[in-house]
Amino acid sequence: MGDIRVREAGAADHDAIVQVLMASWGSTTVVVHGSVYDAAQLPALLAERDGRVVGLLTYTIADHDLEVVSLDAVVPRAGVGGALLSAAADLGRRVNARRLWLITTNDNLDALRFYQRRGMRIVAVAPGAMDAARKITPSIPLVGRFGIALRDELTLELQL
């Protein structure tokens, strides 16, 4: 198997990006901290291995902060997520962002482990934020990973 390569996505990657988002989340719409994003329209980093898309990170940059809106490894536990997060941090430093931050949910224990092992800190917890998000997007499930009730948003950040 070849190396994982990360590059900035271009217009020609739109279909592949939609495919990854749909497979992972069933939609390209991401509702976080009360904001609604069409992640397929955001700037993105793509991870590829042997010419195939193996991961996607979408982001926005505002107020000198880089927000990771979505991160998906098509092939898990092979270094894809780590490569994408590291590339996003490098990108943030290049544009003089002060921090990289993101939201995850209380049930996403894999993500909480993954981010904290990469130096990210939990800096805020919004109890009940997913209940509010469900009012915007009723299809958000009541029960998340590991059978845990999907209720809260956690903000994690990495100082750049």
Q: Cβ-closest residue to ligand COA?
A: 81
- 44-49 vs 29-32, strand pairing mode: unpaired
Range 82-111, binding ligand COA (CB under 6 A):
82, 102, 104, 108, 110-111
Task: State yes or no: residue 58 binds ligand COA (CB under 6 A).
Answer: no
Work out whether 157 is an interface residue with ligand COA (CB under 6 A): no
Stretch of 13-21, 74-82, 92-100, 122-130 contacting ligand COA, by CB under 6 A: 74-82
Burial of 75-103, coded b for 16+ CB within 10 Å and e otherwise, reads beebbbbbbbbebbbebbeeeebebbbbb
Reported residue count of the chain is 160
Residues binding ligand COA (CB under 6 A): 24, 71-73, 76-82, 102, 104, 108, 110-111, 113-114, 117
